[in-house]
Structure 1
Amino acid sequence: MATVAVAGSSGLIGSALVYGLRATDHRVIRIVRRAPSNADELFWNPDTGEFDAGALYGVDAVVNLCGVSIGQRRWSGAFKQSLRDSRIGPTEVLSAAVVDAGVPTLVNASAVGYYGDTRNRITDETGPAGSGFLAQLCVDWEAATAVAAADGVRVVLLRSGLVLGPAGGLLARLRPLFALGLGARLGNGRQYMPWISLEDEVRAILFAITDDEVSGPVNVTGPAPVTNAEFTAALGRSLNRPTPLMVPGFALRTVLGEFAEEGLLGGQRAIPAALEGAGFAFHHSTVGEALAYANRPKDR
């Protein structure tokens, strides 16, 4: 039984990962910002660097999923700084702690935003960094693991796409709109949406933890990215609702500013070359399968 420490364990992905780790007989230590309530919780304050690296002795892997959601609000200067602070500082603290404690593996969150807007160009993990705030954020986020990589730690950088799950995340915002017949493509709808089911996201992280051959950047996305127009139509079909509407790009830019340009009207046609090359098999290979899983009745 391996021991895995998880930071950011209360979010959509973190909660599901903790459940998946325990279901596969791993011991989980949750790294938390409040007073620990049991022996399987470890306090830290990444804002001040307060962390007992000695508590990680004997841990087999650390998974860092920390980061404020990019879509919480319009991107003011202060909010953009909070996006950076919630990712880069905690990653630096954990990277140093992993080195001090001799933990062999660090699995660190990142995002396909690393590539910027790739338009119709297919990109795998060998693709260059793009331009814009999100791309630079991901570059700096990944660079914060450098101290661990330099010390010989196996570092996996999870460049995740849009995670589709039964509760929370993107679909929690979209379902009510689509249920009212207000589902709409965004702008021209040609921007790509690199999706992945929550189940496969967790399975991919487990795969990265346990397969010693996996390292470096890993696109955690489904094998068949779709355009926004295709995703909108597929979600409408999954919910049995029409999707005739379109939200003009100028309206999104007016309301949401920079986030609209980078987070909604741009996208990445990213494919999971590293995962598939390592032998990972997806449970949900198409967006239709992922949405059927995410929108299944709650009693199933």
Structure 2
Amino acid sequence: MRVLIAGSSGLIGSALTARLSERGHDVRRLVRREPRRPDERRWNPPAGEISPGTFDGVDAVVNLCGAPLLPGRWSGMRKQLLLDSRVEPTEVLADAVAEHRVGVLVNASAVGFYGNTGQSVVDEKTPAGQGFLAELCTAWEAATTSARDGGARVVLARTGLVLAPRGGLLTVLRPLFRLGLGGRLGDGRQYQPWIALDDEIGALVYALEHETLAGPVNLTGPAPVTNTEFTRALGRAVHRPAPWQVPAFAMRIALGQAAEEMALFGQRALPRALEESGYEFRHRDVGSALAAAT
């Protein structure tokens, strides 16, 4: 299979590129600079431009584009950047998928789609929630419409918190916990829908290779945990106590709405679509995922 990837230089993109190549797939990477390697193709999403021949022989497209949600407060300008960096490239790719009759589009999204769900279990049938992240994910996913209307199988990969040996969330948390400075966020009752990097990549490859998957797919571990449970598990993984608490008010002062939606809100999200389609998780509990990542 020839797979074209946008956003291949990040944590998930680089790992996905390597895994697909290991499995014998032909991977091409979209870049916004002058290509430096034979597998690179240039594009300019704001101008709607993609180098001629980029889609020749392409069987599937994976779109992982998007500016980081953190660090920093979500000013009006920052929110617009977060929106534009996701919706604009997705629209360009979806139109190209339809035009070139590419069979599959796997498009990044996030469990933030569901908003703050408290203790309630949510799956792919749960409607969009409220808040900026929910609005962002809704617009992001809607930008794939032209690909679906053009006949492509579209997978909306709603990812949770990715636990990786290098990069991602643990890059920030691991040093703090090893120094004994780890602690729960706020009251710690909010759910953290985690997924091991190995399963994140495994699920994306599975989505590309299995025609049974289409529409929203939660890329989260099968056993979501609260922030308190996650804190204890990470403390055990690095063999340090994690007795502290970061007060909610302090986080709101520092990061405003970003703290609310990224740390104090939560989703008890289950990967029903993945499991019902036959995907087998390598890490079914957060302790296993953290052991592999630390």
Is TM-score (shorter-chain normalized) higher than 0.5? yes
Secondary structure of the residue aligned to 1:232 is helix
Question: Residue by residue, what CA displacement relative to the aligned partner does 1:173-207 show, whole Å, maximum 9, x if unpaired?
Answer: 10111111110100000000000000000000000
How much does 1:54 deviate?
Answer: 4.0
Rounded to whole Å, the distance in 2 between the matches of 1:128 and 1:102 is 29
CA contact under 8 A between 2:160 and 2:219: conserved in structure 1?
yes
Secondary structure of the residue aligned to 1:73 is coil
CA contact under 8 A between 1:112 and 1:268: conserved in structure 2?
yes
Tell me which residue corresponds to 2:112: 113
Secondary structure of the residue aligned to 2:46 is coil
Range with greater deviation from structure 2 (35-44 or 227-236): 35-44
**Structure 2 counterparts to residues 89-108 of structure 1, below 5 A:** 89-108=88-107
Matched, 1:75 2:82: no
Aligned residue pairs, count: 294
How much does 1:39 deviate?
Answer: 2.3
Secondary structure of the residue aligned to 1:55 is coil
Rounded to whole Å, the distance in 2 between the matches of 1:38 and 1:232 is 42
Secondary structure of the residue aligned to 1:5 is strand
Matched, 1:260 2:234: no
**Structure 2 counterparts to residues 42-61 of structure 1, below 5 A:** 42-52=41-51, 54-61=53-60
CA contact under 8 A between 1:53 and 1:101: conserved in structure 2?
no
How much does 1:167 deviate?
Answer: 0.2
> What TM-score does the superposition give when structure 1 sets the normalisation length?
0.97
Secondary structure of the residue aligned to 2:47 is coil
**Identity within the alignment, %:** 59
CA contact under 8 A between 1:4 and 1:28: conserved in structure 2?
yes
Instruction: Say what the alpha-carbon RMSD is for the aligned residues.
Output: 0.8
How much does 1:37 deviate?
Answer: 1.3
Tell me which residue corresponds to 1:298: none
Rounded to whole Å, the distance in 2 between the matches of 1:264 and 1:118 is 13
Tell me which residue corresponds to 1:246: 245
Secondary structure of the residue aligned to 1:47 is helix
| AA partner of residue 74 (structure 1) | R
Rounded to whole Å, the distance in 1 between the matches of 2:149 and 2:110 is 22
How much does 1:164 deviate?
Answer: 0.3
Question: Residue by residue, what CA displacement relative to the aligned partner does 1:140-188 show, whole Å, maximum 9, x if unpaired?
Answer: 0000000111111100000000000000000001011111111010000
How much does 1:47 deviate?
Answer: 1.7
Secondary structure of the residue aligned to 2:61 is strand
Tell me which residue corresponds to 1:155: 154
**Structure 2 counterparts to residues 1-300 of structure 1, below 5 A:** 2-52=1-51, 54-295=53-294
Are the structure 2 counterparts of residues 36 and 228 from structure 1 closer, same or farther at C-alpha, using a change threshold of 3 Å? same
Rounded to whole Å, the distance in 1 between the matches of 2:70 and 2:149 is 33
How much does 1:38 deviate?
Answer: 2.4
| AA partner of residue 69 (structure 1) | P
What stretches of structure 2 of length at least 5 have no aligned partner? none
Range with greater deviation from structure 2 (47-56 or 148-157): 47-56
Secondary structure of the residue aligned to 2:156 is strand
Rounded to whole Å, the distance in 2 between the matches of 1:237 and 1:271 is 24
Rounded to whole Å, the distance in 2 between the matches of 1:273 and 1:53 is 39
How much does 1:72 deviate?
Answer: 2.4
How much does 1:74 deviate?
Answer: 1.3
CA contact under 8 A between 1:64 and 1:108: conserved in structure 2?
yes
Rounded to whole Å, the distance in 1 between the matches of 2:142 and 2:136 is 10
| AA partner of residue 240 (structure 2) | R
How much does 1:28 deviate?
Answer: 0.4
CA contact under 8 A between 1:218 and 1:274: conserved in structure 2?
yes
Are the structure 2 counterparts of residues 167 and 95 from structure 1 closer, same or farther at C-alpha, using a change threshold of 3 Å? same
Rounded to whole Å, the distance in 1 between the matches of 2:237 and 2:254 is 28
> What TM-score does the superposition give when structure 2 sets the normalisation length?
0.99
CA contact under 8 A between 2:101 and 2:151: conserved in structure 1?
no
